Amino acid sequence: MQIVANIFFLSAFYLSFSIGLALIFGTMRVINYTHGEMYMLGAYTIWAINSLLRGTIPSVLIFIIALVVAMTVIGLLGVILQKTVISRLQGNTFSIFMATLGLSYVLQVVMIEVAGPIGKTIIPLFPGIVRIGTVILPIQRLVICGVTLAVVTLLGWFLLRTNLGRAIRATAQNRSGALLQGVDIPRIESITMFLGCALAATSGVLMAGTLNINPFMGGDAIWRSFIIIIVGGIGSLPGAALASVVFGALDTVLTVTNHGQFSAMIDALIMILILAFRPNGLLGVRE
């Protein structure tokens, strides 16, 4: 049962990080390589706020403040990126990829200059454990899983039940058709970029208490995110969720059996194998 709990936790992390990237690509058809750095900035946000406020207000308030600030500021940073870089390179996928790749390096250097190259750690804001039989559940991880499920549920409700969400889905399914129906495509792209980067920042805030916070942590995570959204079906949010569970289970089993060093290679091989038989991924559809 402990393994099941670990799978659930790792899957929640993969999903929280990947779903924003899947949303951006599914709607805008661009590869935002700075997604990893938005995640990194989210982690540094809670580290900075925790350093300033620790001991003056309850930990739960620090967490909430960091979450709101990170989502807002980094979401707006994504909008600025969309307005100043991505929209000007619209239609040139490779140029957008190279531009965001270059910007990711810039953000890494900026954080090295601001916070230093040495990794940071924060004391868990939610200490303690819950025991269920022989299963040990750290409260910090329960919070991560709970917030991730809440965010994904709210995102699903937003996309399915609101007019703005339907406009985003229409743009993802048929950009030209959505334009003919009066959808303001530039506005939808800005909103999508805000949501995607805010989700990356949320993941950073959630995971900061369990990882070493450093300027290069985004690069360690984004390659796996690419594997997840490719296997799940590029642009498919349900596919990203399914692939997160698949790789969460696989990587947990590899770690428990002392083969964690092979996880990157095995994940890549599984991606190649799945694409050989399902080129559109597990839940992707042919365009």
What pLDDT sits at residue 286? Answer: 61
236 is a domain residue: no
Averaged pLDDT score across all residues of the chain? 90
Measured in whole angstroms, the distance separating CA 92 from the mean position of its chain's CA atoms is: 24
Please give the model's pTM, rounded to 2 decimal places.
Answer: 0.92
248 is a domain residue: no
pLDDT tens across 72-107, in order?
999 999 999 999 999 888 878 889 989 999 999 999
110 is a domain residue: yes
pLDDT tens across 217-253, in order?
988 788 888 899 989 887 788 888 999 999 999 999 8
Given a cut of 80, is residue 273 above it in pLDDT? yes
234 is a domain residue: no
Given a cut of 80, is residue 59 above it in pLDDT? yes
How large is the average pLDDT for residues 2-7?
86
Given a cut of 80, is residue 123 above it in pLDDT? yes
173 is a domain residue: yes
Number of domains present in the structure of the chain: 1
70 is a domain residue: yes
DSSP three-state, residue 55: coil
* Segments forming the whole domain that contains residue 71: 2-215
178 is a domain residue: yes
Backbone conformation region of residue 96, classed left if phi is above 0, alpha if psi is from -120 to 50, else beta = alpha
235 is a domain residue: no
